[in-house]
Amino acid sequence: MLKRSLFKRPKIALENGGEDFSSFSQECPGCGKELSQGELFENLHVCPRCGLHFRLSARQRLAILADEGSFIEHDSALDAADPLAFPGYAEKLQIARKASGENEAVLTGEAAIMGEKTALFIMNGSFMMGSMGSLVGEKLARLFEFAQKERLPVVGFTVSGGARMQEGIISLMQMAKVSGAVKLHGEAGLFYLAVLTDPTTGGVTASFAMEGDIILAEPGALIAFAGPRVIEQTTHKKLPEGFQRAEFLLKNGFIDAIAERKAQRETIAALLAFHKEGADHAGL
Amino acid sequence: MRAYERLQMARAKGRPGALACISSIFTDFYELHGDRFFGEDAAIVGGLARLSGRQVTVIGIEKGGSTDEKLLRNFGSAHPEGYRKALRLMKQAEKFRRPIVTLVDTSGAYCGIGAEERGQGSAIAQNLMEMMRLRVPVVAIVLGEGGSGGALALAVADEVWMLENAVYSVISAEGAASILYKDASKAEKAAEDLKITAQDLSALGVVDRIVSEHGGDFSLCFSDLQTALHDRLSALCALSPEALLAARYAKFRKIGRPER
C-alpha cells in the first residue's frame, strides 16, 4: 500500500493499452530527452538515450511479448466484488473498469512466446495501482490451477501497490490463496517465471512476485515490501543510493537477473524451451 | 462494541502476549533460536513444548512488556530472519510429526533498511507457500494485533482463531485513514470500515473460532484456549496428511471466490 505519488512518476506514456501515434512528444523523466510517441513505440517504450523503461499497460506488454494472435484471455467476464461493502469502493471499481476497459488489475490467459506455449498473467498498474483485490487473487489462482491441469508453465509480470485496502482482510487472504496455487503448480514439476516491473510492492512482493522458480526484473524497477517513503518515515534514516531498485535486489540475492525489455521475448522463450525438456519427466 | 474500542484493547498495555500465553497453556517449553542464515530475531519466539501432554512446536510473535523487553523484541515487528526462523521450526515440526501452534501479536513486519536488504517480501512469501503444504496440523491464534503480511506469514493454517478482542487487518486503521480518507484522525471510521474484529472476520469466513476473554480474566481465557486447542489438535492429528492439506488449500481457496 503505497502512496499514490509512487505511481505518478515517471509518467506513463499510454495508460490504457491502445497505441496512440499522435504527434505528442514527452520528456524522458530519466534524462530529459524529448521523445516522440512514435519513437517510444518503436523502442518498446524504453528511452533510447538513458535506457529508462517506461511503464506499460497490460495490453501494451502483451503486444510486445506474445506471438500475434496467440493470446486467449481467461476470466475477463468475472465481476470484481466488494466483500466489505466498503464506502465508495463500488464506484471506484466502476471508474477503474471503465477507464481501463479491463475487469481487474491483472490480465490472465494463455499465449505463445516465439512459439513456446505458456499460461500468462500481466498486471495493470493503472487499475487501482495494480492493487490485489479478491478478483486479482481469483484470476491468478485459476490461472495456476489451469496451468497445472494443462501442464503448462506460467509467465507472470507484476506491477502493484500491494494489497487493496478497500477489500481489507479479503485482500490479505489472496496472498495465501495465490501462494497455495503457485506451490501446487510447482509441486507438479512445472515452471513459473516471474518478471517484476516498476513498481512491485507490498503484498504482491510478499507473495507471488517472490515465488518464481526464476525471478527477473526490468532495469531500475522499484521492488519493495515496504515503500521507500514508509521506511523513511519509520526509521528517519536516509535511504542508500539505488535502494530497492532491481539492481539492488540482484546484488542482495533476491532476483536471478535483470531483463531489458528488448531482450525479454527471446530470454523468456529460451527459458520456457529449456524447462520444457524437464517437464516431460516431471511429476511421473 | 465498536471496532476502534476493540483495537485499543488489542493494543492495551498489560494484555498478555505470546510468551505469557506460552507459559499459561504449554508445559516444558524449550526455546530454539536462529534462522541458520543470518541471525536471531527476538521478535519471534519459538520452540518445543507440550500441550496437555502432546508434543507440539509453538511459535509466537512477542511485543514485549517492559521498555527493555519492547526494545529487545523490536515491539513485535519481525525481520526476515524471524520469519525464516519460524519456517525452520515449522519444517522441523513436520519432520518429527508434531502439530504447530502459532501465536500472532504484531502491528506488522518491520519496515526498515535492513529488513528490505535481507528480503522481507521474499521471507514472507516463502512462509505462505511452505505453510500451505506442511504435512502436520497448524492452528494459528491471533492474540492481540494481526498486522497484515507480517501476521499472515505465521497464519496460513488449518484453523485461524482469534481472542475476543483481537484484531486482524490488511493495514493499520491509522494507515488506512491517512491514505484513504487523507486524515489520520479518521482511524476510528477506518477501523469500522476495514472490518478488523474477530466478530467481523468470523462472519467473513476468515476466522474459525473466537475465544472468550471472560471480561479480561485471561487465566480463564487461556484455560478455555488450552482445552479447545487440545480437542482440535486431536481431531486434526487424526486426519491423513492428504486430507489435511486438501482442506487447508480449500479453506483459503474459497476466500474471495466470486458468486458465479
Q: Do B121 and A138 touch (CB under 8 A)?
A: no
Name the stretches of chain A with pLDDT < 70: 1-23, 278-284
CB < 8 Å from B in window 236-265 of A: 237, 239-240, 243-244, 252-254
Q: Do B118 and A252 touch (CB under 8 A)?
A: yes
Between the two ends of chain B, the Cα-to-Cα distance in Å is 34
A137-157 pLDDT, tens per residue? Answer: 999 999 999 999 999 999 999
Beta bridge pairs of residue A109: A73, A120
Question: Domain A55-279 belongs to what architecture?
Answer: Alpha-Beta Complex (3.90)
Residue A231 touches chain B, beta carbons under 8 Å: yes
Helix (H, G, I), strand (E, B) or coil at B136: coil
Note whether ipTM > 0.95 here: yes
CA distance A68 to B123: 38
CA dihedral B18, B19, B22, B23 (to 10 degrees): -150
pLDDT of amino acid B185: 85
A32 vs chain B: nearest CA distance in angstroms? 30
Sign of CA dihedral A98, A100, A104, A110: positive
User: Of A172, A183, A239, which is closest to B129 when you measure between CB atoms?
Assistant: A183
Beta bridge pairs of residue B140: B102, B160
Q: Are A72 and A105 in contact (CB under 8 A)?
A: no
pLDDT of amino acid B259: 66
pLDDT of amino acid A284: 46
Q: Do B124 and A225 touch (CB under 8 A)?
A: yes
pLDDT of amino acid B94: 98
Query: What angle in degrees, to the nearest 10, is found between the helix axes of A261-279 and A58-65?
Result: 70
B213-260 pLDDT, tens per residue? Answer: 999 999 999 999 999 999 999 999 999 999 999 999 999 999 998 765
CA distance A211 to A262: 24
User: Of B116, B153, B194, which is closest to A244 when you measure between CB atoms?
Assistant: B116
Q: Are B219 and B24 in contact (CB under 8 A)?
A: yes
pLDDT of amino acid A13: 42
Domains and CATH numbers, chain B: 3-251 (3.90.226.10)
CB < 8 Å to A79, chain B: 258
Q: Do B119 and A177 touch (CB under 8 A)?
A: no
pLDDT of amino acid A9: 42
CB < 8 Å to A144, chain B: none
pLDDT tier for residue B40 given thresholds of 50, 70 and 90: very high
B145-184 pLDDT, tens per residue? Answer: 999 999 999 999 999 999 999 999 999 999 899 888 888 8
pLDDT of amino acid A10: 43
Where does residue A196 fall: left (phi above 0), alpha (psi -120 to 50 degrees), or beta otherwise? beta
C-alpha cell at A261: 525489455
Sign of CA dihedral B130, A214, A245, A65: negative
Look at residues B100, B237, B81, B218 and name the one whose alpha carbon lies nearest to residue B160: B100
Residue A174 touches chain B, beta carbons under 8 Å: yes
Q: Report cis status (omega within 30 of 0) of the bond before B99.
A: no
pLDDT of amino acid A22: 52
Q: Report cis status (omega within 30 of 0) of the bond before A199.
A: yes
B187-203 pLDDT, tens per residue? Answer: 999 999 999 999 999 99
pLDDT of amino acid A281: 57
Please give the residue of chain B at the shortest CA–CA distance from A185: B129
For chain B, give the mean pLDDT. Answer: 96
- List phi, psi (to 5°) of A244: 65, 15
C-alpha cell at A99: 477507464
C-alpha cell at A146: 489451469
Q: Are B140 and B155 in contact (CB under 8 A)?
A: yes
Burial (0-12, 13-18, 19+ Cβ within 10 Å), B226: middle
